[in-house]
Structure 1
Amino acid sequence: MAVRDSASLLVGLVVLLHTWRAWAAVEVNMKDKVEVNLGEKAQIPCLYTSDDGIGGLTIEWFYEKGLGVKKRFFQQAGLMKTVDNSTHFTERISVNHSNNTMMLTIRDVKLEDQLDYICAVKGLTDGSGEGRTKLRVFVKPEPPTIEGVQNGISVNEEVTSLVGSCEVKNGYPRPNITWYKDNMPLRINKNEVEVESTVTTQSSGLFSVKSELKKKIVKEDKDALFYCEVTYFVAGSTMMSETRQINVNVLYPSTAVKIWVESPKGKIKEGDSIELHCKGDGNNPSSLFLIKYLKGNANWENDTVLLENVTRQNSGVYECISTNTENFEDISNNTEVFVNYLDPAVVMPNNVMVMAKGNELKATCNALSSLQTKTAWFKNGQEVSEGHTLILKNVTFDTAGVYKCVVTVPEIEGMTTSSSLRVHVEGQPEIMETPLTVIETFDKTVELVCDVRGYPAPTITWIVSDGMVPDSDNHMTTTDYGTKSVVMVDVTSNATAVCNASNEHGTDMRTFNIKAKTKSNGFIIAVLIVCVLLLAILGSVLYFLYKKGKICGRAGKQDLTREKSSKDNIVVEMKSDNTEEAILLGVNGEKQPPNDQ
């Protein structure tokens, strides 16, 4: 019975001890992973539970490179801390304890710090426990670049052609590249869309990725935009970046051509330069173009033609022919060119028209043109009539002159022609009114003007009362309405000059009275008075300058003092800067004693 009780007691102690140890076992909790960007600070917490205080615990930190190989880099036994010096991050770590938490801090994280970190806690009475955290390090790559092929790609290629390449450098972990066409991702399809990627690991451990897109090009790709999307990872998130968009030079044959006049825009007139262009709707640099002038049987082996200084003879049909050099098939189209013209203006009657006073003038002006014209008549720059016909009734000498007919084409700027008609009105001479017929002059010569209307052009002669006959022939000109004479007459005394004008229809005359004037004595006296006043003003100015010491060439400071003596003598005191002696001089320059002042 005693033995049985003893056995029962022993079993109970064993069970109690086992239960106590289960309740008091060490527990360690750590995060599965901690993410940090290159160069930043990483913090890895280790949370533990234990009935033993910190003084009864041993805490160790390890890192694991792989294959289960662990290396310790930190130990804390009680309150004693030890940092191993043989690790690559010894100088960059610190471990702090607070409220059952051991915090491992790694400063300036390097790529080689990406390891598994193990926290092991061992108690004196309640056993041990450990946990681990994986540290992940991220590096943002450089912005991606894209390059398209420089040469054109033909739609007739039977295999896929290289469209372009994308590259992203120095990222970690490895970035991913996806190709897009017009905002839609391209799916790999054998013989249609192929993508080849190359991954390079740099000496720094960073990754660079290059991706090449090959595609079977079709005509619809001529307007497509291709670009790359790069996906990369940073601490706590996934980022994306896009390249610029590129276009492919797609080569495809033409199915139609067109020919047109590139310049001038609008209607063409004679004298213009015409630039003809021929182009197909394809994109094939090897295509051949030929422009033919069907009317003149002229050919130009080019896709552009320049015709300079064209005439109406250049009007006609021009044809463009495009030849595909791959299959030598021709396609063509044509356009009609019309060169507008405006012939020189013709005035009837021609050039000169002689009329009698009082009659009616009627003239016509016409110019043959391919377009509607507008006609106007001008005299002396002023418009006098509009339309092809000029009618002037009851003509006078004022009607005589040159009439200019101007024909324009309103639809085309600068398309104009003109012609002139000179009109003479017959009649006896009429001397036009002169502002002055009585002339007063102080000069020795005087200019006389005699302006005469009439046709035939009147002959002008001059007679002066003193018997002198001026040489009028050298000063006579023909005008639109008659003759004009300008003569110079010598004046020695009062005289009379007569202008005589004559033609086959009669005569007219005009008298000019010339009064010779002399300068009077009153004028001479007035001039003398003005001169005297000017001399007086000049004297006052000179005296003022003298008083101020501005003239006479004095050196140094001098004071001139004018005083009266008892004998009414004028005394001048002269002072020098170099002596205090005063010298008094009389009006005759004799030295005066000081008491005579």
Structure 2
Amino acid sequence: MAASSGFVLAGLYILVLSSQSWAAVKVNMEDRVEVSLGQRAEISCLYEMDSDPSTAIIQWFARAPGSNSARQQIYFMENLVRIPQLDSPFTGRITVEERSPGSVVLILDPVQLLDELMFICQVDGKAQGKQEGSTYLRVFRSPEIPRIEKADSGIHINEPDPSKIASCEVRNGYPLPNITWYRDLTPLQVSEGDVGVVNLVTRATNNLFTVRSDLYLKVRKEDKDAAFYCESSYFVPDGMAMTESIRINVTVHYPPTYVQLSRLSTDLVKEGDDVEMICFVDGNPSPPLTFKHNGEDVDGQMLSADQEGVLLRNVKRSDGGTYSCTALDLEALDPDSPELENSLKLQVHYLDPAVVLPEDPMVLFQGADLEATCNAVSSLKTHTVWYKDGRDVSEGHVLRLGNVSLDTSGEYRCVVTTPDLPGLRTEGSLQVLVQGQPQITDVTQEDIELSLSVNLTCVVLGYPIPSITWGSSDQEDFNGLSRDTPILGGVISTLSVKATSTQSFVCEAENEFGKDSRSVMLEPIKPETTPAPATSPSGSVTVKPPRRKVQKEGSGVIIAVLIICVLLLAILGSVLYFLYKKGKIPCGRSGKQDLTKEKSNKDAIVMEMKTDKSDEAVLLQGVNGDRKAP
């Protein structure tokens, strides 16, 4: 009986304990909350209990990370009672909100670096017991952009130990940022005797970190073209970030290994051109250079900001030859070590003046053969073309013409060029004279309507230069003035006469081989015809038209003509009228001759409309000397 009652008591005790565990308070919190410096931080505390959650007592504590650190109460709340701890570092920045039954939130605004602590939420359910949870608040501050600074002086590749080439500084970051060095996108790893990195960390009173990193490197020649920079990596809420500095180039000093002398232009060089030659040396700093031409020193000059060379202006053929550039290595330990040298050959092309043989003038007989040469000494292949009067007549340096005539006379010009170099050109000339009887090629006259004076031109070929003689069908009325202009292989004669009447002019040329002549008929503008009486011994009447053009002599001539006409009309009026009505007026030459004899002023001649071609033939025969005009 006693044993059974003992089992009953034991079961009741276990039932009471189990009922208490079922009614215990449960608290749930985040392990970590991350926020940037100066921002708003929210730490949630979720709890569960069987009774009304609003009856629970909630207290907030803070302590530094670590199990042995003491904690400090910072907030107390029960029902409507809210009591922040007055002497805590959170005073004025802390609030607690009840978002829903069983959910409270601790708010810090703004967050400071000293807020990076463990925040503890304790829930007291009274009869249901106590339970607490914790959240670690992480605070971040992104650092400034890395600033890089390279070494002031250059670094020689022969330095035995790594040399400091640059410094990188990252300021005001939290937590501590990390610095990584790069060379051409490749991170540099610390290596003894090759790469070294020294970091210096400082923490300001505001708890922000500043990191300075110095890079030491044993430089190589290839590093002169490398780009160095540093990278800062740091934590931010929910991840990591990184920023890079600007790229820098390191000044690397190294001895020269080769020298190259080159000409900027690849075109052929001719006399008169400007030539520029550049000497490139890979040493840094650039070593002293020496320039020579065919073994003799020549002046060098700076042709660009960092290159030295030779500049030749208006070159001559004597400037051609071998040019060399020698670099002196001042750091060479052995004074007998060979110098670095490079050379090039410069050829200056030329074309001498053309030489024409035989020398002009070249005199030939008609029917002979002509052969002449035109040569010019050149450094290139030449091409020769012969021209006469602007037209090409032959190609090649030899000019050959067979069975020459008077038309062959003239100036022949040879032009010599170099097809490979169009800028070279020279030319020469040859005067050719063909002996023979004169030959008149053309006799022309000006437009008579323009003036009472007209020029007649006679072009004659022949050598020796013929003498020119002008004649007229009316020798008594021939008042012309001629002038002769010699041309190559002939002459041009110009005769200036007054166009007073229709007459024929003859140009006659003569030299020791013979003569030639040609005539031209000068016919002034035909005047208008009006009836005018005239008498002759045979009883015929000739009607002469007045002149169309105004005479230059003035009003005196006009008055004289009017007086003569009035006298003729008064004496012969009746006879003319009777004969005119009967149609018996004869048109003979005797009447014309009588009428012209009565005129006293020679300049007032009135021209007649000619219709008889036989008269012109008689006049031409008289001028040519075959027979006289009647």
TM-score under structure 1 length normalisation: 0.75
CA distance in 2, matches of 1:491, 1:109: 123
Aligned to 1:292: 292
Deviations 1:283-303 (A, max 9, x none): 332x222223345x3354775
Does 1:443 pair with 2:457?
no
CA distance in 2, matches of 1:447, 1:80: 138
Summarize the alignment of residues 105-120 of structure 1 with structure 2, pairs less than 5 Å apart: 105-106=107-108, 109=111, 111=113, 113-120=115-122
Aligned to 1:351: 360
Instruction: Describe the shift of the 1:518–1:208 C-alpha distance in structure 2 as closer, same or farther (beyond 3 A).
Output: farther
Paired letter, 1:425: V
Bigger Cα Rg: 2
Summarize the alignment of residues 259-408 of structure 1 with structure 2, pairs less than 5 Å apart: 259-260=261-262, 262-285=263-286, 287-294=287-294, 297-300=296-299, 303-327=308-332, 328=335, 329-333=337-341, 334-408=343-417
Aligned to 1:227: 229
Instruction: Describe the shift of the 1:420–1:115 C-alpha distance in structure 2 as closer, same or farther (beyond 3 A).
Output: farther
Aligned to 2:104: 102
Q: Which secondary structure state, in structure 2, belongs to the residue aligned with residue 21 of structure 1?
A: helix
Aligned to 2:58: 59
Does 1:452 pair with 2:457?
no
CA distance in 2, matches of 1:471, 1:87: 132
CA distance in 2, matches of 1:100, 1:520: 143
CA distance in 1, matches of 2:45, 2:143: 32
Paired letter, 1:177: I
CA distance in 1, matches of 2:479, 2:511: 20
Deviations 1:240-261 (A, max 9, x none): 344444333322112333433x
Paired letter, 1:100: G
CA distance in 1, matches of 2:491, 2:93: 118
Choose which of 468, 490, 496 in structure 2 pairs with 1:482.
Answer: 490
CA distance in 1, matches of 2:478, 2:91: 130
Native 8 Å contact 1:83 1:90 kept in 2: no
Paired letter, 1:247: N
Instruction: Describe the shift of the 1:270–1:72 C-alpha distance in structure 2 as closer, same or farther (beyond 3 A).
Output: same
Choose which of 406, 411, 425 in structure 1 pairs with 2:420.
Answer: 411
CA distance in 2, matches of 1:517, 1:212: 115
Instruction: Describe the shift of the 1:517–1:253 C-alpha distance in structure 2 as closer, same or farther (beyond 3 A).
Output: same
Unaligned runs of 5+ in 2: 302-307, 531-630
Deviations 1:509-547 (A, max 9, x none): 3424131345799xxxxxxxxxxxxxxxxxxxxxxxxxx
CA distance in 2, matches of 1:114, 1:198: 24
Instruction: Describe the shift of the 1:191–1:508 C-alpha distance in structure 2 as closer, same or farther (beyond 3 A).
Output: same
Paired letter, 1:76: M
Quote how far apart the aligned CAs of 1:389 are: 1.0
Native 8 Å contact 2:445 2:456 kept in 1: no
Deviations 1:532-564 (A, max 9, x none): xxxxxxxxxxxxxxxxxxxxxxxxxxxxxxxxx
Deviations 1:74-119 (A, max 9, x none): 4432255556687658468562423533234556655554443222
Paired letter, 1:509: R
Aligned to 2:248: 246
Paired letter, 1:291: F
CA distance in 2, matches of 1:6, 1:270: 137
Aligned to 2:35: 36
Instruction: Describe the shift of the 1:146–1:6 C-alpha distance in structure 2 as closer, same or farther (beyond 3 A).
Output: same
Native 8 Å contact 2:480 2:498 kept in 1: no
Q: Which secondary structure state, in structure 2, belongs to the residue aligned with residue 247 of structure 1?
A: coil
Quote how far apart the aligned CAs of 1:350 are: 1.8
Deviates more, 1:174-183 or 1:144-153: 144-153
Deviations 1:475-527 (A, max 9, x none): x4444453334454433444544444444432333424131345799xxxxxx
Quote how far apart the aligned CAs of 1:469 are: 4.0
Native 8 Å contact 2:162 2:194 kept in 1: yes
Native 8 Å contact 2:361 2:430 kept in 1: yes
TM-score under structure 2 length normalisation: 0.71
Does 1:137 pair with 2:146?
no
Quote how far apart the aligned CAs of 1:336 are: 3.4
Q: Which secondary structure state, in structure 2, belongs to the residue aligned with residue 140 of structure 1?
A: coil
Deviations 1:10-37 (A, max 9, x none): 8776655444333322232212211234
Instruction: Describe the shift of the 1:109–1:478 C-alpha distance in structure 2 as closer, same or farther (beyond 3 A).
Output: farther
CA distance in 1, matches of 2:528, 2:232: 108
CA distance in 2, matches of 1:269, 1:249: 42
Instruction: Describe the shift of the 1:193–1:453 C-alpha distance in structure 2 as closer, same or farther (beyond 3 A).
Output: same
Deviations 1:429-488 (A, max 9, x none): 333335x66955263333433333333344445456463544433xx4444453334454
Native 8 Å contact 1:493 1:516 kept in 2: no
Instruction: Describe the shift of the 1:81–1:441 C-alpha distance in structure 2 as closer, same or farther (beyond 3 A).
Output: same
Quote how far apart the aligned CAs of 1:414 are: 0.9
Aligned to 1:582: none
CA distance in 1, matches of 2:258, 2:147: 38
Quote how far apart the aligned CAs of 1:121 are: 1.4
CA distance in 2, matches of 1:508, 1:134: 133
Quote how far apart the aligned CAs of 1:73 are: 5.1
Unaligned runs of 5+ in 1: 522-597
Quote how far apart the aligned CAs of 1:153 are: 2.0
Q: Which secondary structure state, in structure 2, belongs to the residue aligned with residue 276 of structure 1?
A: strand
Does 1:218 pair with 2:257?
no
Paired letter, 2:229: Y
Deviations 1:363-393 (A, max 9, x none): 1111222332222222333332221211122
Summarize the alignment of residues 130-209 of structure 1 with structure 2, pairs less than 5 Å apart: 130-149=132-151, 151-201=153-203, 205-209=207-211
CA distance in 2, matches of 1:360, 1:89: 128
Aligned to 2:477: 467
Quote how far apart the aligned CAs of 1:204 are: 5.6
Q: Percent identity?
A: 40
Instruction: Describe the shift of the 1:119–1:314 C-alpha distance in structure 2 as closer, same or farther (beyond 3 A).
Output: same
Q: Which secondary structure state, in structure 2, belongs to the residue aligned with residue 433 of structure 1?
A: strand
The root-mean-square deviation of aligned C-alpha atoms, in Å, is 3.6
CA distance in 2, matches of 1:270, 1:102: 98
Aligned to 1:491: 499
Q: Which secondary structure state, in structure 2, belongs to the residue aligned with residue 52 of structure 1?
A: coil
Native 8 Å contact 1:442 1:517 kept in 2: no
Paired letter, 2:397: H
**Structure with higher strand content:** 1
CA distance in 2, matches of 1:410, 1:230: 66
Q: Which secondary structure state, in structure 1, belongs to the residue aligned with residue 223 of structure 2?
A: helix
Native 8 Å contact 2:500 2:524 kept in 1: no
Instruction: Describe the shift of the 1:307–1:430 C-alpha distance in structure 2 as closer, same or farther (beyond 3 A).
Output: same
Instruction: Describe the shift of the 1:77–1:313 C-alpha distance in structure 2 as closer, same or farther (beyond 3 A).
Output: same
Quote how far apart the aligned CAs of 1:359 are: 2.3
Deviations 1:116-169 (A, max 9, x none): 322221112122222221222333344434444464321122232232233444
Native 8 Å contact 1:455 1:482 kept in 2: yes
Instruction: Describe the shift of the 1:24–1:405 C-alpha distance in structure 2 as closer, same or farther (beyond 3 A).
Output: same
Native 8 Å contact 2:54 2:101 kept in 1: no
Q: Which secondary structure state, in structure 1, belongs to the residue aligned with residue 35 of structure 2?
A: strand
